[in-house]
Chain A
Amino acid sequence: MQKLISFFNQKALYVFIFVLLTTVFFAKYIPQLIIDPSSDGLMIKDDPQKEFYEQTLEKFGSDNVVVIYLKDKEMFSVEKVQLLAKLINRLEDYKYTQSVHAVFNQKNIIWRDGGLITEPFIDTYYPPQTEDEVIQFKNDALYNPILQNNLLNDDATVMSINVNIEPNEGMEGYDSIIKDDINQILTMLDGEIKEYFQIGSPYFKSQLIDYIISDQLTLIPISVALLFIVLLISLRSFANALLPLVTSSISVIWTFGFMAIFDIPINLITVIIPSLLIVIGATEDTHMASEYMEGIRKKKIRKLAIEYMGSKIGLAILLTAATTVAGFASIIANDIVILRQFGIVTVFALVSNFLITMSFVPAYLHFFGTKHPPKEQDHARFAHVSNIIDKYFAYISAKKVPIIAVVSAVTLLMAAGIFQIKINNDTISYFKESSDIRQKSDIVDRELSGVQSFYLTVDANEKNAFKKPHFLQELERISNKLKSVEKFDKVIGVNDHISLMNREMHEGDKSFYKIPDNEFLIQQYLLMFHENDLSSYVTSDYSEANIVVKHNITSSYELNALTDELQTYFKKHIDPSLELTFTGEKILVNQAADTIAKGQAFSLIIILVIIFILMSALFVNIKAGLLSIVPNLIPIFFVFGVMGYFGIDLNIGTAMVAAIAIGIAVDDTIHLMVRYNKEMKLLNDQDLAIKETLKHEFRPVFSTSIALFLGFSVLVVSNFIPVIYFGMLSALVMLLALICDFLITPILLSSTRLITLWDMIAFDLKENVFKSKIFKGMKRWHIKKLILSSNIKTVKAHEHIIKQGQRQRSFFLILDGQAYASINYDDQSKKLKTFYPGDIFGEIALSADIERTADVIAQNDCTLLEFDWQSLEKIGKIMPNITSRFFLNLSGIMGVRLAETTDSLIHKDS
């Protein structure tokens, strides 16, 4: 890494040119970037049910409907009826209209004046001229059960006009055009109709696009401003504070270009990528800029400061970048299209950002890096912080058990909240209650039947089945069951039309509002309809019927639970030859809700496994893997608890929190662990090493956590509920992870000695050490691991390692250098033996509390391993298998030594 940074420093100009050209390349594609307001992305990828839904649409008509809501107490006055008739004509004439459905042009099937009427309620070109005619129209409309609460409310003060719009997927901005044109047409109602507005698919989609754009226009500037302020405070250099913004902006351009090239749209989730990228991407730059500042303080000149920075930017940055990317990558495993796209794009964005940072930062600093070192007052502050940390650590060390007990208890309590989490993928619930779209939708739900709808298709797999009483009566039973559900506002099927005809052919006798038993009568009634009168409710071959259900349920779990319950009921009570399928955009999106939960669990497992494997491998210790996960898993349980207890649904936004947040939060734990490993090598004392780690890492860990906390908090201003909760909960994780890093991590670290893979590879040992009797039968890898886990001591030439007569229960192994043993008696000393690398000495003292029988003095500079019971116990805990072999060898050596001593004593006596 150091070499790479040094290389980029030297080739700064080339880096600039390369980054510039690549940025231009990606920027070129940005105009092709599309905003996708459809709910397709919320569905499951390649869902076979989607195909079924599309077929249903083909059979029973489009779902691209503009709903015009009208409210006026005097709706049925001559003037207003005439105006609305004119409006309907205008809407029918509109070039993208397929059909218009309003009370006015529906078929009025009614027995009146001694005869049957089967014509539209009114002729919109020649609307009623008199009060009587209008009253007649109103009474007829209120009498029609199919219109009730559908196109007209109970007291005829609220009306809806449904305009089916031609599908035109390819046309750019189609939904906005429709929305604007319809609004333009509606201006004719200004001052005439008290309250009116449009809602429905084109409005919904066009509004969604507006919200997405508005999100971009607010989130990006706020993120940029916030980040800049945080960086300016922590780095105290304008040029350096600007740096993360420059790299983030470049990454955003690359990412947008990437999205355009691969046809990934901006949708209600990918909309947050730029602001996320600005915040998350800045962490690496911040670390680098901060090391550069340290470099300037120490080395004074830019070039050397950059070299210094390179030497410090190593393992930690690479690891943290990897875990963050892994967190986002785990989202790709999701089957929900929108989440998969989010995962893909963020992985590209973060990898690009990492590459840009690594190459561009040295180049940028080469030209623009500040030349002024930070003021010395920082050091006074450091001393103050150091003092506090000493006291703090002493406190938590003393209260280890209660702290762990309290944290565990609270975590378990919060984790219990998981069972109360509800899954929701309902699109309407993605908007704020205060949003225009939600308010309008609520009004329509309240005053008329729900804006939301789904279909229940009933397939008899038999031509003309729905001309037969049996099947129609089954349909009627299904329909009645649906009507009995309070949350369903309106249920319409072909059975309603036939029942209505039956009633009116019996002179309006209500008892005849049912399917007749006579098949011929049904077929004769059907002569009164044109195929298209019923095309929304039955196929032209009468083999398949469609029940339209309008409702106001805005939560997936509620709708899913209801449809499941109904499906069970129908299985029991309805002719099994009928195939019943719930379908509709809502149903598909809702069904994806379960996939969200599965995807969330899968992503979380993936990221945990990745972090565990990575950290276990890196620190050559499974415990290290667990240690990196535990402090970050606690906040996740907390977040789940918060969601459960506070009723925050699991949706496309909140489902991402766990995996993403853990990938980011683990970064600080890694920084702490890597630092601890370094300090441990230097200080050889766990408590001291932890204190030093906390002192040095407090500031960067605290500031990045706060920056991330603020960065995620920015998302609260989004227009979309999933984004808001994603931001809030992720911010919460950042805060909780910070607390855990300073509360739990030190406690866990204090019982662990960390060695990194790098240490193992780089550790150079004399060949004789490997051949030492104490390591007999052990692999080189295990020998290295054992040595690195022990106390390494260095002793200068002629210094004492052991002093005769001292009581010291430890023994030594020479790793490098030579030492000799000498015995003192009668003021004379006699050199007994020379020890070389691989030799051990003083082992007898380990087994018995006796005085040292000789001096051991370093002949030259020596590196030694000292083993005492305490250290052996620690190693035993970390590496039980290796240690048992070590003890076996040790007892062998001691046995031999005992035999030798006994032998020498016998010889001496004789």
Chain B
Amino acid sequence: MQKLFIAMLFLVSAIHLSAKTGLEIMQMQDERQSTQTEYIHEQMLLISGNGDKEARQVIKNIKQMQEGQNRALVTFIEPASIKGTALLTWEQVERDDDQWLYMTALGKMQRIAKGSKKNYFMGTDFTYEDMSSENLDNFDYTIIDEEQVEGHDCWVIEAKPIESYKKDTSYSKRVLWVAKDIYSTVKIDFYGRNGDLIKTQQSKEFENIEGTVYRAKMTLMNNFKEDHKTLIKTVKTQINKPIKDEVFTERYILNGLHTQVR
């Protein structure tokens, strides 16, 4: 009798869970968190296995273009030795993104021929893939559990690449903890191609920027595989404030305008 009761409970909860699918949750999150433009000023702390630290500051300008693809300009503003170094990305559909690297000391923009999304971004523990906007069509999302993380009730969603996308991602799967209250990803476990957990990203101190848009003030990427961590602290976030298209051009960068902090 008791067993039957427990079985019933499972059935009820399963029905309850299936009320929203993983994909639906991800879509809702996308809708709620997406912005037209975004300006972020971040402090980055790279922490090596032996505790050595390296601090950097970056500003990011991101703009969703008419085609729905993003353009992003990430500029280092500190330390002085790398100030002005920038990576300009134009997201593309059905082909590799266009990327240009600007090094002030070289004084010219260099095209990144094959911007592998699997590479680490500028010595951090985030790959380009981790930082790009997620195309929901490329993954199968399954709710596998519900859990509380950092004070938020979360759906635990497993994101597995679809067959055709497997080649383009370095992960065999990701497990995302999406906060039910703010539709933001609180935690992500990244699993390597061989199925091993390789790193975990955890975000906290979510701040409501505007409307349904929430952004974490602190994000830590703990890279077990490389025994390295990257801590990101947001200094300033502005959304949906106009950013001119020319910001995402070579001329703008070569004129040194990209290092301006808002």
- Answer yes or no: do A and B interact: yes
What residues of chain A have their CB less than 8 Å away from a CB belonging to chain B? 89, 92-93, 111-120, 123, 125-126, 467, 505, 516, 518-521, 523-532, 539-541
Say how far A228's CB is from chain B's closest CB, in angstroms.
Answer: 58
Inter-chain CA distance A788–B100, complex, in Å, is: 105
Are the C-beta atoms of B81 and A115 separated by less than 8 Å? no
* CB of B10 closer than 8 Å to a CB of A: no
Give the contacts of B42-98 with A (CB-CB under 8 A). 46, 48-50, 52, 54, 76, 79, 81-82, 85
* Nearest residue, chain B, Cβ from A118: B119
* CB of B118 closer than 8 Å to a CB of A: yes
Inter-chain CA distance A120–B114, complex, in Å, is: 11
Are the C-beta atoms of A505 and B52 separated by less than 8 Å? no
Which residue, B46, B48, B125, has most C-beta atoms of chain A within 10 A? B48
* Residues of chain A contacted by B167 (CB below 8 angstroms): 123, 125-126
* Residues of chain A contacted by B135 (CB below 8 angstroms): none
* Nearest residue, chain B, Cβ from A108: B114
A527-B123, A532-B228, A540-B50 known; A115+B111 contact, CB < 8 A: yes
Are the C-beta atoms of A125 and B103 separated by less than 8 Å? no
Contact among A125, A516, A526 with B123 in the assembled complex (CB-CB below 8 Å): A526
* Residues of chain A contacted by B118 (CB below 8 angstroms): 119-120, 123
Say how far B11's CB is from chain A's closest CB, in angstroms.
Answer: 38
Contact among B79, B193, B226 with A531 in the assembled complex (CB-CB below 8 Å): B226
A505-B103, A524-B104, A540-B48 known; A116+B110 contact, CB < 8 A: yes
Are the C-beta atoms of B81 and A505 separated by less than 8 Å? no
Are the C-beta atoms of B113 and A524 separated by less than 8 Å? no
* Residues of chain B contacted by A519 (CB below 8 angstroms): 81
* Nearest residue, chain B, Cβ from A521: B105
Are the C-beta atoms of B105 and A115 separated by less than 8 Å? no
A-B contact pairs, 20 of them (CB 8 A): A92-B194, A114-B113, A115-B111, A115-B114, A118-B112, A118-B119, A119-B116, A119-B118, A505-B110, A521-B103, A523-B82, A524-B105, A527-B122, A528-B123, A529-B123, A530-B228, A531-B123, A532-B227, A540-B49, A540-B54
* Residues of chain A contacted by B116 (CB below 8 angstroms): 118-120
Contact among A115, A119, A539 with B119 in the assembled complex (CB-CB below 8 Å): A119
* Nearest residue, chain B, Cβ from A541: B52
* Residues of chain A contacted by B125 (CB below 8 angstroms): 530
A540-B48, A540-B50 known; A527+B82 contact, CB < 8 A: yes
B side interface size, CB within 8 A: 35
Are the C-beta atoms of B120 and A530 separated by less than 8 Å? yes
* Residues of chain B contacted by A92 (CB below 8 angstroms): 194
* Nearest residue, chain B, Cβ from A504: B110
A116-B113, A520-B82, A530-B120 known; A125+B193 contact, CB < 8 A: yes
What residues of chain B have their CB less than 8 Å away from a CB belonging to chain A? 46, 48-50, 52, 54, 76, 79, 81-82, 85, 101, 103-106, 110-114, 116, 118-120, 122-123, 125, 166-167, 193-194, 226-228
Are the C-beta atoms of B104 and A520 separated by less than 8 Å? yes
Inter-chain CA distance A525–B227, complex, in Å, is: 22
Contact among A111, A118, A524, A530 with B103 in the assembled complex (CB-CB below 8 Å): A524
Are the C-beta atoms of A520 and B81 separated by less than 8 Å? yes
Inter-chain CA distance A112–B114, complex, in Å, is: 9
Inter-chain CA distance A89–B194, complex, in Å, is: 8
Given contacts A117-B114, A532-B226, 8 further A-B contacts (CB under 8 A): A115-B111, A115-B114, A116-B110, A116-B113, A125-B166, A519-B81, A527-B85, A530-B125
Are the C-beta atoms of A93 and B123 separated by less than 8 Å? no
Q: How many A-B residue pairs have CB under 8 A?
A: 93
A126-B167, A524-B103 known; A119+B82 contact, CB < 8 A: no
* Residues of chain B contacted by A505 (CB below 8 angstroms): 103, 106, 110
Are the C-beta atoms of A518 and B105 separated by less than 8 Å? yes
A123-B167, A524-B82 known; A116+B112 contact, CB < 8 A: yes
Are the C-beta atoms of B105 and A520 separated by less than 8 Å? yes
Which residue, A114, A115, A120, A524, has most C-beta atoms of chain B within 10 A? A524
* Residues of chain A contacted by B166 (CB below 8 angstroms): 125-126
The 3 closest A-B pairs by CB, nearest first: A115-B113, A521-B105, A540-B48
Inter-chain CA distance A201–B110, complex, in Å, is: 43
Are the C-beta atoms of B46 and A524 separated by less than 8 Å? no
* Residues of chain A contacted by B112 (CB below 8 angstroms): 115-118
Inter-chain CA distance A524–B56, complex, in Å, is: 12
* Residues of chain A contacted by B104 (CB below 8 angstroms): 520, 524
Say how far B177's CB is from chain A's closest CB, in angstroms.
Answer: 26
A118-B112, A521-B103, A530-B228 known; A540+B194 contact, CB < 8 A: no
Say how far B83's CB is from chain A's closest CB, in angstroms.
Answer: 8
Inter-chain CA distance A93–B49, complex, in Å, is: 22
Say how far B35's CB is from chain A's closest CB, in angstroms.
Answer: 27
Are the C-beta atoms of A531 and B119 separated by less than 8 Å? no
Are the C-beta atoms of B106 and A521 separated by less than 8 Å? yes
Are the C-beta atoms of B123 and A530 separated by less than 8 Å? yes
Say how far B20's CB is from chain A's closest CB, in angstroms.
Answer: 32
Say how far A522's CB is from chain B's closest CB, in angstroms.
Answer: 8
* Nearest residue, chain B, Cβ from A529: B123
A115-B110, A119-B116, A505-B103 known; A524+B81 contact, CB < 8 A: yes
Say how far A130's CB is from chain B's closest CB, in angstroms.
Answer: 15
Which residue, A92, A521, A525, A531, has most C-beta atoms of chain B within 10 A? A531
* Residues of chain A contacted by B226 (CB below 8 angstroms): 530-532
* Residues of chain B contacted by A126 (CB below 8 angstroms): 166-167
* Residues of chain A contacted by B193 (CB below 8 angstroms): 89, 125
Which residue, B81, B112, B114, has most C-beta atoms of chain A within 10 A? B81
* Nearest residue, chain A, Cβ from B118: A119
* Nearest residue, chain B, Cβ from A543: B52
* Nearest residue, chain A, Cβ from B98: A115
* Residues of chain B contacted by A520 (CB below 8 angstroms): 81-82, 104-105
Inter-chain CA distance A464–B116, complex, in Å, is: 29
Are the C-beta atoms of B113 and A117 separated by less than 8 Å? yes
* Residues of chain A contacted by B194 (CB below 8 angstroms): 89, 92-93
* Residues of chain A contacted by B50 (CB below 8 angstroms): 540
Contact among A119, A467, A528, A541 with B114 in the assembled complex (CB-CB below 8 Å): A119
Are the C-beta atoms of B122 and A528 separated by less than 8 Å? yes
Are the C-beta atoms of B85 and A524 separated by less than 8 Å? yes
Are the C-beta atoms of A113 and B113 separated by less than 8 Å? yes
Contact among B101, B105, B123 with A116 in the assembled complex (CB-CB below 8 Å): B101
Inter-chain CA distance A67–B55, complex, in Å, is: 37
A521-B103, A524-B103, A527-B123 known; A116+B111 contact, CB < 8 A: yes
Inter-chain CA distance A584–B48, complex, in Å, is: 24
Inter-chain CA distance A645–B188, complex, in Å, is: 71
Inter-chain CA distance A803–B217, complex, in Å, is: 129
Contact among A111, A467, A524 with B106 in the assembled complex (CB-CB below 8 Å): A524
* Residues of chain A contacted by B111 (CB below 8 angstroms): 114-116
* Residues of chain A contacted by B46 (CB below 8 angstroms): 531
* Residues of chain A contacted by B82 (CB below 8 angstroms): 520, 523-524, 527
Which residue, A92, A532, A541, has most C-beta atoms of chain B within 10 A? A532
Inter-chain CA distance A539–B81, complex, in Å, is: 19
* Residues of chain B contacted by A528 (CB below 8 angstroms): 122-123
* Residues of chain B contacted by A113 (CB below 8 angstroms): 113-114
Inter-chain CA distance A433–B113, complex, in Å, is: 50
* Residues of chain B contacted by A516 (CB below 8 angstroms): 105
Inter-chain CA distance A800–B118, complex, in Å, is: 118
Say how far B95's CB is from chain A's closest CB, in angstroms.
Answer: 14
Inter-chain CA distance A112–B15, complex, in Å, is: 54
Are the C-beta atoms of A112 and B52 separated by less than 8 Å? no
Inter-chain CA distance A531–B120, complex, in Å, is: 10
* Residues of chain A contacted by B106 (CB below 8 angstroms): 505, 521, 524
Which residue, B49, B101, B104, has most C-beta atoms of chain A within 10 A? B101
Inter-chain CA distance A184–B46, complex, in Å, is: 40
Say how far A56's CB is from chain B's closest CB, in angstroms.
Answer: 14
* Residues of chain A contacted by B122 (CB below 8 angstroms): 527-528
* Residues of chain B contacted by A111 (CB below 8 angstroms): 113
* Nearest residue, chain A, Cβ from B81: A523
* Residues of chain B contacted by A123 (CB below 8 angstroms): 118, 167
Inter-chain CA distance A92–B46, complex, in Å, is: 26
Say how far A533's CB is from chain B's closest CB, in angstroms.
Answer: 9
